[in-house]
Amino acid sequence: MEKKTYLKGFLSGVLAIILVAALARGIHRVQSFSGTELPRDTKIQTIEKYLDRYYVDEVDKEDMVEMMYAGLVAGVGDPYTAYMSKEELESFMEDTEGSFEGIGVEVTMDPKDNSLVVIAPIPNSPAEKVGILSGDKIIKVDGEDISGLNLNAIISRVKGEEGTIVKITVYREATNEILDFTVERKSIEVSSVTHRMLEDNIGYIKLSGFHANSYDQFKKAYDELTAQGMKGLILDVRNNPGGLLDIAVKIADELVPEGTIVYTVDKSGERKDSLSDEKHIEVPLILLVNGYSASASEVLAGAVQDMNVGKLVGTQTFGKGLVQGLFPLSDGSALKITIQKYYTPKGVCIQGEGITPDYIVELPEEYKYSVRIPEEEDTQLKKAVDVILEGLK
């Protein structure tokens, strides 16, 4: 009798513990589980049915389906491959044209942890004015955690109508801080090329991106400096996240001798070469690079280094050696898919590795994450000038 009472009490206790554990987890099982396999379409319909029937709030079917598409594409595990809604596609196309409404930051996905890292705030942009720096990792937009979202989905949340306010939360690794910035969106006009003549007739061109109009802007700057008697050229692609590959190839063609600028290889192994003609720069050339020189910037840097037409000064580049293709869908949305790897003229794929400069030069600690560096403090620029002057002797 005592044993039965004890056993009954023991089982009651076990059941009570299980019930408490289930309640603590907030789980209520509606029906029994089974091991029956479901066809893919049936499973999607079943999930949708359960959400319709049991989810406590109203379900926005359109948002749910859009996130399903995004999740399907995200399943390949590549931060550069993404589904884009109609609105995200429009935002993406704006960026390639060089003007948009937003806070004014160049960003990319860090493949090491799939975080959104700021390559650089655009000069005079709202982002620069509030204090967002190169290297900051955006972790929240308007208080919403953005981990798990693709690049274009995050950008569409950051961008918005001029005059509206957005709260950006960043993690600043350099100081191990989480910082909040309240930013008013503005209309951003991006000129990807600026230029000037330094002392000793050394030309300087800053190339901040590869947009649709960047080649024309570069050619105009290059021709103006040449007409002024340029004896050497410093091309600055620090904090340049890349852009349109064909524009990078056109700019490289102005600088390098005849040969392969870059070649790409797709999943079938097919190789495509982008070639330059005989015309090339006739004066000493230096490229300034850093850890935020990425993608198309690295195409240009790799061609200059491998074809021995100039030297690289700065720090190791970012290491993005992948090419994306854009595939529009009939409803106005699109897929951005990594379709190729690219290789420098000597056959090096820099994906995940980057390019090592010929002269490794660090900036002073206080300017490592700055877009604006006083010329007298720019150790990398000073080294570039010294290398050019040495070559002119």
Residue 209 neighbours by CB distance under 10 Å? 26
Residue from 295, 336, 370, 383 carrying the catalytic annotation: 295
User: If you search the block for the tokens 């720069």, which residue do you land on?
Assistant: 281
Distance CA 291, CA 180 (A): 24
91 counts as catalytic: no
Strand, coil or helix: 20:
helix
320 counts as catalytic: yes
Q: Which of 287, 285, 219, 211 is nearest to 248 (CA)?
A: 211
How many residues are listed for the chain in this entry? 393
Residue from 320, 336, 378, 383 carrying the catalytic annotation: 320
Task: Tell me the HSE value of 287 on the side-chain side, using a 13 A CA sphere.
Answer: 35
Residue 341 Cα distances to 267, 272, 299, 324, 345, angstroms: 9, 11, 11, 9, 13
Those residues with Cβ within 8 angstroms of residue 41's Cβ, 6 or more apart along the chain or in another chain: none
Strand, coil or helix: 87:
helix
DSSP secondary structure letters along 180-248:
EEEEE-EEEE---EEEEE-GGGEEEEEE--B-TTHHHHHHHHHHHHHHTT--EEEEE-TT---B-HHHH
Three-class HEC string of 172-186: ECCCCEEEEEEEECE
Type of residue found at 267: K
231 counts as catalytic: no
Strand, coil or helix: 348:
coil
**Strands 202-207 and 193-197, how do they pair?**
antiparallel
CB 316 within 8 A of CB 386: no
User: If you search the block for the tokens 């240009």, which residue do you land on?
Assistant: 300
Residues assigned a catalytic role: 295, 306, 320
